[in-house]
Amino acid sequence: MNLHLLDWIIVAALLALMFALVFLSKTLMRSVTDFLATGRTGGRYIISMFHGTAALGAITIVGVMEQNFAAGFNSRWWEMMTTIILVGISVTGWVVYRYRQTRAMTMAQFFEVRYSRAFRIFAGFMAFTSGIVNMVIFPSGTARFFIYFCGIPEIGHIGPYSVTFILITALVVAIPLFFTLTGGHVAVMFTDFVQGVFVNIVFVIIVIFLILQVDWTQIGQAVESAPADASLINPFKSSKVQDFNIWFFFIGMFGLIYTKLSWQGNASFNVAAKNAHEAKMADLLTNWRLIPQWGLFLVFVPVVAYTIFHHVDFKEVADSINATLVGAGNEAMQSQLKTPMVLNYILPIGLKGAFAAIMLAASITVHNTYMHSWGTIFIQDCLMPLRKKPFEQKQHIKYLKYSILGVGITIFLLSIIFQQTQKVFLFLAISGAIYVGGSGSAIIGGLYWKKGTNAAAWAAMITGAITATTGIVLNQMIDNFPINGQWFWFIAMISSALIYIIVSLLTSRKPFNMDKMLHRGEYALEGERNIVKSEAVKGWKVFGTTPEFTRGDKGIVVATYTWTIVWTIVFIIGTIYNLTTEVKNETWMAFWKAYTWVYLITSIIVTVWFTIGGIKNLKEMIDALRTMVRDHKDSGFVERKKKE
């Protein structure tokens, strides 16, 4: 075993805290809405924390480390443009605000209201299928991390399969499955909150330790040894970086806009906010919430790992890691473990256990979030629309639990069998595109275009699914196929969007009643009536604040704008300067050193800020769940007064 007793105590303590909150959630979960969306009691900080933790499973951490081991600091340069897009999306409430106004329990329920019941069922099956395929690598990738990071010994084989691997994979699925079946979405929200607080604290501490452990001179010497046009510090000399070059990030930027709320792995959190304004503020706060994770730890740590592998001072460590990874499977599997194994070798006792605890919490939160989503989507969007009347309360929750259990068993079995051949993020992109390739058109068109039609939604969804499935098959069957998963995702998005527009223009006969769907004007709901003026704001005014913004809300907006504008200026000036002048590596290293310190200081502030805000929201949520009156008819069932 690689972990000390103190390390195991830290892991056990965090797991015990999560179990305690899950048992508390069981006493608070009293309705279908509680099981599906925590009774719509989520405050901005706890919702924004989820947006960070649900996207930060153990497999995601491994995947980003793998990406930035290859791309280095360059990923953050191009992702500065991503920050601009994220803030624009957040402040305008792009998709999020209107979707929350529909009061749909799931995205496919919205599809039924906007398009048809048949399309809802089809979309539900597509989301479910895409989610299961996407999740196939989660348990196995996570299990492989724990086996090698913790040094868990082999105990035998069943045919070609490792018994240790099977048992650890089973535990990776079983623990979050128990959490979800015990407390539904309330348990999911609680465990994600714990991970959200703990992960930022530990990430900041690890970065500080690594800054003290590995000298910037060593980092500079290592990254300068990268091949020509595959630089890890100069983004303008990185065209030959395999897979994770500039086009990878540009496609991701386009996907941020096109697929907003498309991915249903976090579907329940999209409707768990108290109201539309809290959902919008949560989305805005997420820009800050992600700084310690995506802006600091997951960039700096892989660069340090690259240094360990490529600097002569750490040759013995690198040789030892390479010898260990020989038995880790194929090249794709070994690639995933390089950075985690570097941390295994250089982190001290206690901090190594804290990182293992983070990975355990990340594994639990992403698995319980996704299993909850896919299981509930199967019942809510595939089975329930086939019924003429809604389920009874207890019956409904029972079937939801059966469905989640089925998802857990399915991903466990498939994860053991499936052999991954692509890098983590490339596989996630192409498998997710089975659904999001076409659903983005249906969502955006349905929320913003009164001429969007049912036929167009069907055509777009089918186009995206066929494109993505073709990409998966070709990449599995043909080694080093020239079009990777990211590019197939892009092709799926573009082709689906064009098909949606063309078919809508050909089949639109009568404009859709958007006011009724969005509960505006004469259709507004008491208790959730929004200020009319804010709905009428158009053009550049959407970047301003509206009457529902408090003084604190306005302060958050100003701070977010300031942060974004500063980095936008840095990006613009830096891009112009690099296109007109030959910039030395020493200059880039000085820039990335300053960047790291700025993000470290900001991360400390964000960690304290969100911990305080999250604890306040958690208390408010618990109080609301204890006292609120449930509406048991609010189950996601859509009544139909006439035959379609």
For the domain that residue 54 is a member of, what is the CATH number?
Answer: 1.20.1730
User: What per-residue confidence (pLDDT) applies to 564?
Assistant: 86
Of the residues 483, 509, 535, which one is the last residue of a structural domain?
Answer: 509
391 and 464 housed in the same domain: no
Token pair 């991390």: residue: 145
Of the residues 491, 509, 527, which one is the last residue of a structural domain?
Answer: 509
468 and 597 housed in the same domain: no
Is residue 527 included in any domain, yes or no? no
Of 16-25, 69-78, 502-511, the one with minimum mean pLDDT is 69-78
384-428 confidence digits (pLDDT tens): 888 878 788 888 889 999 999 999 999 999 999 987 777 888 888
Greatest mean pLDDT range, 140-149, 382-391, 423-432: 140-149
User: What per-residue confidence (pLDDT) applies to 54?
Assistant: 59
> Crossing angle of helices 44-53/351-377, nearest 10°?
100
Is residue 469 included in any domain, yes or no? yes
Which residues touch 607 (CB under 8 Å, ≥6 apart)? 200, 201, 204, 292
487 and 365 housed in the same domain: no
User: What per-residue confidence (pLDDT) applies to 480?
Assistant: 78
442-492 confidence digits (pLDDT tens): 999 999 999 999 999 999 999 999 999 999 899 888 877 888 889 999 999
Residue of 186, 106, 102 lying closest to 636 (CA atoms)? 106
Q: How far is CA 562 from CA 147, 538, 611, in A?
A: 44, 22, 22
Is the pLDDT at 530 greater than 50, yes or no?
A: no
409 and 450 housed in the same domain: no
606 and 462 housed in the same domain: no
Is residue 313 included in any domain, yes or no? no
Of 178-187, 320-329, 395-404, 592-601, the one with minimum mean pLDDT is 320-329
Is residue 297 included in any domain, yes or no? yes
CB of 486 closer than 8 Å to CB of 251: yes
Is residue 483 included in any domain, yes or no? yes
Structural domain of 483: 426-509
Percent of the chain with pLDDT over 90: 49
Is residue 174 included in any domain, yes or no? yes
444 and 409 housed in the same domain: no
370 and 437 housed in the same domain: no
User: What per-residue confidence (pLDDT) applies to 538?
Assistant: 46
Compute the distance between CA of residue 564 and CA of residue 496 in angstroms, rounded to an integer. 31
Reported in sequence order, the residue ranges of 312-385 that DSSP labels E, i.e. its strands, are: none
Is the pLDDT at 534 greater than 50, yes or no?
A: no
* Number of domains present in the structure of the chain: 2
21 and 63 housed in the same domain: yes
416 and 438 housed in the same domain: no
Is residue 452 included in any domain, yes or no? yes
Q: How far is CA 256 from CA 365, 373, 561, in A?
A: 22, 20, 19
Is residue 71 included in any domain, yes or no? yes
Of the residues 509, 542, 560, which one is the last residue of a structural domain?
Answer: 509
Q: How far is CA 640 from CA 39, 385, 511, in A?
A: 24, 10, 20
The torsion angles phi and psi of 548, rounded to 5 degrees, stand at -80, -5
Q: How far is CA 249 from CA 270, 289, 437, 468, 486, in A?
A: 25, 20, 17, 19, 9
CB of 154 closer than 8 Å to CB of 133: no
45 and 77 housed in the same domain: yes
293 and 432 housed in the same domain: no
239-296 confidence digits (pLDDT tens): 888 778 788 888 988 998 999 888 877 666 656 788 778 877 887 888 898 899 888 9
Instruction: Supply the pTM of this predicted model.
Output: 0.81
User: What per-residue confidence (pLDDT) applies to 632?
Assistant: 59
DSSP at 199:
H
User: What per-residue confidence (pLDDT) applies to 476?
Assistant: 81
603 and 563 housed in the same domain: yes
